[in-house]
A and B are shown apart, each in its own frame.
Chain A
Amino acid sequence: MRVGLFLTCLNDTLFPAAGKAVVQVLERLGHEVVFPRAQTCCGQAHFNTGYRRECGPLARKFVRDFAGLDHVVSPSASCVAMVRENYRDLVGESPPVYEFTEFLVDVLGVTDVGAAFPHRVAYHPTCHGLRLLDLGDRPTTLLRAVRGLRLIDLPDAKHCCGFGGTFALKNADTSVAMGTDKARAVLGTGAEVLAAVDNSCLMHIGGLLTRWRSGTRVLHVAEILAGT
């Protein structure tokens, strides 16, 4: 299958490993990945911060950049939710975007991608993946099939981590208080790695974990699934 990759502006700038991992897994499964070079950003930050007008051109650009692709896959649940929930209203069409784990399980019908990752992993279901995309147990089903990986229950897993886009800056104190509770819960599990399907939330939780010199790392689920 020919699959378009929507990397997202955040991954493009700070987390290239997530994009590489998506390419590696899809190619390993025998699919062709295309990367439209003109792509930039879905406009989520503008839309959610109340800059709908500034978001319009970005949404139209997205539609142009990914035109002609039947499947566009992204390692960001919240950006996929942005396109799926708001584009029809914004620009009159809704491109066929899929969150990475959703694409693997629902479209490709794969739950074991042949990965190995011998570590204790806790999974944080990010809010937009959980409530807007209804990812359910797709990410954990994929993680459970990874050889050597021990999936550890995260207490209060469904509680928001406090990132919230510009919330993390506009309400930094509340954001950090929420992130602190999440990071403490992660440390309490004894997990070596915290995994999620949004690098934005992981940047927030991981930013606390490294500031505390905790030794616990954050990784995008795709990076774990790419490991062999």
Chain B
Amino acid sequence: MSTWLGMPPFPEAAREALGDSQLRANLRAATGTIRAKRAAVVAERDDWEQLREAGRAIKDRALHDLDTYLVQLEHRVTEAGGVVHWARDADEANGIVAGLVRAAGASEVVKVKSMATQEIGLNEALAAAGITALETDLAELIVQLGHDRPSHILVPAIHRNRAQIRDLFRREMPGVDPELTDDPVALAAAARAHLRRAFLSARVAVSGANFAVAETGALVVVESEGNGRMCLTLPEVLISVVGIEKVIPTAADLAVMLQLLPRSATGERMNPYTSVWRGTTPGDGPREFHLVLLDNGRTTALADDIGREALRCIRCSACLNVCPVYERVGGHAYGSVYPGPIGAILTPQLRGPDPVADSLPYASTLCGACLDVCPVKIDIPRALVHLRGKVTHPPRERAIMRAAAWVLGSSSRFAAVRRVTALGTRLACWLPGPWRRWTQARDLPAPAEESFREWWDGRA
């Protein structure tokens, strides 16, 4: 999985983000709005808990027999006139896509918003091959124009407000009205004019997919703007890069997923555009369809009986929107395209150990708000704790934790330490080391005059 080079581990990245008061205001406003919308449409469904349970069961069934379903999907897509490619990692997937674009004789592609292609760094790989990739999702376009990084799964430019977007468009969009205002309708119209030319001229489109139905070979993209629909229908060649965990067994399963996803994602009963296609159809839409099935660490996650729950994720972002940590620090601090609670359990598994990945399972208070809202019931807190057990702990921390376990293993050792703690808390403000991190902004409580045990023993 492509890493954001030069990113520090989460605590430092978060500290920097916390200093940006504009960012915090933008995030508080945006996540607060989506949270309220989601809560309202979820409350309408008195069978919401049954729906979640059904969603969980579907994804678990798909993951349990993933090998069977993937082969079935390959057969159905091939029967319908598509070509299936298998990519072990980012490099393989990028190479396949670049080769297909070149074979089509194109030097520009239009893109449907897709997390998988962000994950593998496709745009950068295409650029290195001399191919320009144009993001057509409005928020993704804002990120691309700003030479920025996405900070949210669904709304990659959530860290920007309207005024910042207006300034960006004025600066980066060729031929834009210099008097452009920050009215959302005006901003959307500017983006539409900018994209229209590309839609009409592009010969190749690249997408991801929200779901891939093994039974029928259908691919599904769910979106709000209709720009994805343009990419999926106008160009001659369509290439879809899809993580292997996106497969679901049957078309009936889709009925459950399409009730869970929009409500959890944008807080809508149904999203405006749902595109479903199988292979190619003569005289209608692309005449060539390629499906690139991407592993890139997913089979490693699948082998972990707790970590694999992360593969149920349908990328709705509900866990980001309710996360109190995400709300304070934003998405960039997580150092990968998957921010928030899901990123904290997905990135370390897809990427393997490194200082950023090792810091992510700790980027949570384990408050449990994410589990409450997840439409496929991923027990994110449990996975976080599990992954904390797999990182290499810093030697000093390990020594402290071992010593603490030894002390707490006997009541007499614990009693001895309690007696010095009374003194310790008085001195803590001057003590070096990890306690400084507490006392910089917070007082420690004053120790009590009489311990519980003294009091207990003193009673007749």
* A58:B408 contact, CB within 8 angstroms: yes
Q: How many A-B pairs fall under 8 Å by CB? A: 167
Task: List the A side residues contacting B450 at CB < 8 Å.
Answer: 16
* B443:A38 contact, CB within 8 angstroms: no
Task: List the B side residues contacting A173 at CB < 8 Å.
Answer: 11, 14-15, 18
Q: Which residue of A lies closest to B19 (CB)?
A: A173
Find B442's partner among A38, A40, A45, A179 (CB 8 Å cutoff): A179
- Contact-residue bracket for chain A: 35 or more
Find B438's partner among A40, A130, A168 (CB 8 Å cutoff): A168
Q: Which residue of B lies closest to A218 (CB)?
A: B445
* Distance of A169 Cα from B453 Cα, bound (Å): 29
* Distance of A208 Cα from B361 Cα, bound (Å): 26
Rounded to whole Å, the gap between the CB of B392 and the closest CB of chain A is 10
* B364:A54 contact, CB within 8 angstroms: no
* Distance of A163 Cα from B324 Cα, bound (Å): 11
* Distance of A56 Cα from B364 Cα, bound (Å): 23
* Distance of A172 Cα from B12 Cα, bound (Å): 10
Find A167's partner among B362, B390, B442 (CB 8 Å cutoff): B362
* A164:B364 contact, CB within 8 angstroms: yes
Task: List the A side residues contacting B389 at CB < 8 Å.
Answer: 50-52
* Distance of A19 Cα from B452 Cα, bound (Å): 7
* B442:A15 contact, CB within 8 angstroms: no
* A40:B410 contact, CB within 8 angstroms: yes
* B18:A174 contact, CB within 8 angstroms: yes
In chain A, positions 158-210 with a C-beta closer than 8 Å to chain B are: 159-160, 162-179, 203-204, 206-208, 210
Interface centre among B390, B437, B450 (most CB of A within 10 A): B437
Interface centre among B367, B369, B443 (most CB of A within 10 A): B367
* Distance of A49 Cα from B388 Cα, bound (Å): 6
- Contact-residue bracket for chain B: 35 or more
Task: List the B side residues contacting A135 at CB < 8 Å.
Answer: none
* B388:A171 contact, CB within 8 angstroms: no
Task: List the A side residues contacting B388 at CB < 8 Å.
Answer: 48-50
Q: Does A46 contact B (CB under 8 A)?
A: yes
Q: Which residue of B lies closest to A175 (CB)?
A: B365
* B448:A17 contact, CB within 8 angstroms: yes
* B442:A51 contact, CB within 8 angstroms: no
Q: Which residue of B lies closest to A163 (CB)?
A: B365
* A211:B401 contact, CB within 8 angstroms: no
* B418:A131 contact, CB within 8 angstroms: no
> Interface on chain B toward A: helix, strand, loop, or mixed SS?
helix
* A15:B448 contact, CB within 8 angstroms: yes
Find A46's partner among B11, B401, B452 (CB 8 Å cutoff): B401
* Distance of A14 Cα from B452 Cα, bound (Å): 9
In chain A, positions 201-228 with a C-beta closer than 8 Å to chain B are: 203-204, 206-208, 210-211
Find A207's partner among B324, B361, B402, B444 (CB 8 Å cutoff): B444
Rounded to whole Å, the gap between the CB of B279 and the closest CB of chain A is 45
Find A211's partner among B329, B372, B441, B447 (CB 8 Å cutoff): B441
Q: Does B100 contact A (CB under 8 A)?
A: no
* B443:A207 contact, CB within 8 angstroms: yes
* B401:A54 contact, CB within 8 angstroms: yes
* Distance of A41 Cα from B401 Cα, bound (Å): 13
* B402:A54 contact, CB within 8 angstroms: yes
* Distance of A40 Cα from B10 Cα, bound (Å): 33
Q: Does A116 contact B (CB under 8 A)?
A: no
Find B385's partner among A50, A57, A130, A171 (CB 8 Å cutoff): A50
* Distance of A49 Cα from B441 Cα, bound (Å): 22
Rounded to whole Å, the gap between the CB of B346 and the closest CB of chain A is 18
* A162:B324 contact, CB within 8 angstroms: yes
* A131:B371 contact, CB within 8 angstroms: yes
Rounded to whole Å, the gap between the CB of B213 and the closest CB of chain A is 34
Known contacts A40-B410, A160-B369, A14 near B445 by CB under 8 Å: yes
Q: Which residue of B lies closest to A207 (CB)?
A: B442
In chain B, positions 406-426 with a C-beta closer than 8 Å to chain A are: 408-411, 414, 418, 421, 425
* Distance of A47 Cα from B437 Cα, bound (Å): 21
* Distance of A48 Cα from B361 Cα, bound (Å): 11
Q: Does A88 contact B (CB under 8 A)?
A: no
Q: Which residue of B lies closest to A54 (CB)?
A: B405
* Distance of A182 Cα from B434 Cα, bound (Å): 23
Rounded to whole Å, the gap between the CB of B31 and the closest CB of chain A is 11
Task: List the B side residues contacting A45 at CB < 8 Å.
Answer: 404
* A171:B10 contact, CB within 8 angstroms: yes
Find A160's partner among B11, B14, B365 (CB 8 Å cutoff): B365
* Distance of A16 Cα from B452 Cα, bound (Å): 5
* A48:B385 contact, CB within 8 angstroms: yes
Task: List the B side residues contacting A55 at CB < 8 Å.
Answer: 405
* Distance of A174 Cα from B325 Cα, bound (Å): 7
Q: Does B451 contact A (CB under 8 A)?
A: yes
**1/0 per position for B380-393, CB-CB distance to A under 8 A?**
00000101111101
Which 10 residue pairs of A and B lie closest in terms of their CB atoms, listed nearest first?
A164-B365, A50-B388, A207-B442, A16-B452, A160-B367, A131-B368, A172-B437, A127-B367, A54-B405, A41-B408
13 CB contacts below 8 A, A to B, read: A9-B408, A45-B404, A50-B390, A57-B409, A61-B409, A127-B365, A131-B368, A170-B362, A171-B325, A174-B328, A177-B18, A207-B444, A211-B442
Residues in A lying within 8 Å of B, measured CB to CB? 7, 9, 11-17, 19-20, 23, 35, 37-41, 43, 45-52, 54-55, 57-58, 61, 127-128, 130-132, 159-160, 162-179, 203-204, 206-208, 210-211
Given contact pairs A14-B425, A171-B11, a sample of 15 additional A-B residue pairs in the complex whose CB atoms are under 8 Å apart: A45-B404, A46-B401, A47-B385, A49-B401, A50-B387, A127-B368, A127-B369, A165-B366, A169-B434, A174-B329, A176-B441, A177-B18, A207-B445, A210-B443, A211-B442
